[in-house]
Amino acid sequence: MDQSATKAVTETNDRPSTAPASLRADHQAPDRLVLQRGIFTGPSAKVSDELYAVVKGRAHRERLELRLDKGASAHTNTYFGRFAASYWQRWTTVTEVWATMVLDVTKRARIRLVASDIAGHRRIIDTAEVTASGPLTLTAPLDQYVDGGALWLEFDAIGGELGISAQTWTATAPDHVRPVAIAICTFNRAADCAETVAALASDAPILAAIDAVYVVDQGTDLVENQPRFQETLPVFGDKLRYIRQPNLGGAGGFTRGLYEVSAVNEHADVILMDDDILCEPETVLRLNAFANLTAEPTLVGAQMLFLLNPDYLNVGAEEVHLHELKHGQKVSKALRNTSMLKKNQERRVDAGYNAWWTCLIPAEVVAKIGLPVPIFFQWDDVEYGIRAREHGFVTVTLPNAAVWHADFYWKDYDDWARYFSTRNSLIVGSLHADLDGKAITRQLFRSLAEHLVAMQYGLVHTTLQGIEDFLQGPKILRDGGIAALAAARTGRADYPETIKHPAATPPVRSADIQMRRAGGEPSRVTAVLIKRAIAQWTGRTQRGLIGVTREDAHWWHVALFDHVVVTDASQSGVRIRQRDKARARALLIRTIRVLRRLRRDLPTLTRQYRAAVPELTSRENWERLYGIKPD
C-alpha cells in the first residue's frame, strides 16, 4: 500500500486536526429521511439472525435481503427488526412513517404492518396482498405509542417464492441534515479498534452518511500498525483522521473528538464509540436519523448487548443515584440482563444518561455546556449527561440501536479502576448534588468494612486512595489523571490478594484446597457484619485452605475463613486472600481518619470543585493537556 495514505490521515499533536470538507457545512436533505433499514443478518457469525428477523420455513438471508421459499413466513418483531414507535412519537417531530420495500413475487404474497402497545398486544395497522413484483409502501401514523409500543413487518410467501429487499422506514426529512463525525478512543486495543473502524467502512450507505472518523490513539500498541487498519484506509478517502496523544483515559480520548469537531463546525454532531465493541453499523444510521428529527437537541445513546452472550441486553436505560454515589442504575421497568430473543422492550423508559460505548452528542450541547471534565476514567459520561440535563438537554437511550460490548460481570470488582470509580463518584456527586457528609461517610465505611472482613486489603487501599485524592481538591485533575493512574496501579502491588494466578498452578497446594459453598444472604446483615469482623479480629475463623467460586465470594461467606482461594470474575484465574490482622488494623485506622476528614471538608470541597468546572471543561485546559498550540 502507498504509505502516503497513512501519512495523509495521521495528525501531529501540537495543533488542532484538519477536517474533511464535508464536515464543515450542513447537508441538503432528501425528500424523505431513512430512519432505519431492514437488516436480516448480523455483522458477525457470533450474532443470532433472529435478532433481526424470525423465519418459519426455508429461506435465504443476506444483509439487506431476505428470500422466502414457497410457504415460508417471516417477521421483524425482533430486537433490530422493530421500529421503536414510542420513542419516535415521544421525542421527535415525526408524525407518520412509511415502511417501504422492493418485492420479488413469483405468485402471491401477503405483507402486514403490525404494531404493539405497552403490554405487547398485537394489532394490524396496514396490509397488502401482492401478486406482482415491485416497490410497496405501507404507512403508519405515530399517534398511539407515547408510553410504549413498536412497529414491525410480517411476510407470507403464498404459492411461490418471495424476495424482500431495500426495506426502509422513512419520514419527511428536516430542512437540512447536520454533518456527523465519529470519535473512537483507544488504548492498546489496536486489533479491536482496527476491526471497529473496518466495520464502519464495510457498509457503503453508512460510510456515505459519516463526514469524519477520528481515531484517537493513546496507547503504545498502535492502531496504525495493524494490517486491518491499513487495508481499510483507502475506503475512507479523506474522512479518517488518526491522532496520537498521551493516555488521558476515556475522558481525554473522547473529548479530543468533541474538541476537534466543534473547532471546525459548531453545528456538527459527534458519535462517541468504544474501540473494543462489535459494531453494528446500522446503529450509526439510526442514532443520526433520530438526532436530526428530535423536537429539541438530544443526546442519543445506543443500548449495549453483551459480547460473550450476544442476545442479552445489558439494560434498557440507566440513571444515577448521586446521593448514594451509584451509577449504572436500572431505570424502573427497564429490562436488564434479558435475552432479546425471548422478550421485547415494549415500554418506553427514559434514561438519565447514556454510557459512551456509543452515544451521539449534539453540537448544541458542546456549544452550551463545554467539554467533559478531565476525570480520566469512569463517571465522565455520567457527569456529562447530568450536566447536559441541567442545561435542558435530555438523553434518550434508543432501543433497536445497539453495539456489543464486553460483559461487565466478567470484570472483577477488585482492580485499579476502583480508584477512579471512588474518586470520580465523589467529584460528580459534589458537582451535581448536595451530598450529605454523614450519610456518605457511613455508606463508605460500611462498604470498606465489608472489604476488610473479606480480606480484600488491596481493594480497601485503592478505595481510600480515591477518597484521599478527592480530598486534595480540583488540583488532582491538573494532569488529566496520568499520575493517578500510575499510583493506583503501583500501590496495589503491595497487596498479594490483588494478584491473579493460574487456576492450575496457584502458589498453594491444590490438594489442600477444600471447596465451601455459600448459603443465602443473611437476613440481619449488619449483625452478621459485626460478627464476622469480631471473628476476623480475634482469629475465630475456620483454619485450612478454602476454595470459593466467584458466585459464592460474598463477604459474609469469605469472612468465615482465614485463607481462601477465590475464582476471579474473569474466570481466567484465582486470587488468594489471607487474614492479616496487622494490615487490617492499619487500614481500619486509615479509614476512620480519611472518612472523618471527608465528612468535615465535604462542604468546602464541593464549593471548590464547582468553582473549577468552567476552567476544567474549557478548550484552553484541554489544549494544555493535549499539548496543542492553538492557531
Residues in the chain, overall count: 631
Residues 268/262, Cβ–Cβ less than 8 Å: yes
| Beta carbons within 10 angstroms of residue 12's beta carbon | 10
CA distance 629 to 631: 7
* Contact between 409 and 309 (Cβ < 8 Å): no
CB burial string 356-367: b at 16+ within 10 A, e below: bbbbbbbbbbbe
- Amino acid identity of residue 418, one-letter, is R
> What are the strands, taking DSSP E only, across 406-524?
513-515
Helix (H) or strand (E) holding 306: strand 299-306
Closest of 246, 293, 250, 252 to residue 269, by C-alpha? 293
457 neighbors 583 (Cβ within 8 angstroms): yes
Cα 508 from Cα 524, distance rounded (Å): 34
- Where helices occur in 405-436 by DSSP H, the ranges are 417-432
At which residue does the C-alpha cell 486495543 appear?
189
217, 274, 381, 412: which one is catalytic? 381
Question: C-alpha grid cell for residue 222?
Answer: 498502535
Alpha carbon 469 to its chain's center: 26
18-57 per-residue burial string, b: 16 or more CB within 10 A, e: under 16: ebbebbeeeeeeeeebbbbbbbbbbbeeebbbbbbbbbee
Q: What is the C-alpha separation between 218 and 13, in angstroms, rounded? A: 11
Check if 14 is active-site: no
Cα distance between residue 89 and residue 266, in whole Å = 28
Q: Are 194 and 102 in contact (CB under 8 A)?
A: no
Burial class (CB in 10 A: 0-12, 13-18, 19+), 329: middle
Sign of the torsion angle spanned by Cα atoms 223, 228, 233, 239: negative
Return the CA Rg of the chain.
27
What's the grid cell of residue 536?
A: 476476623
> Which H or E run contains 256?
helix 249-264
Catalytic residues: 381
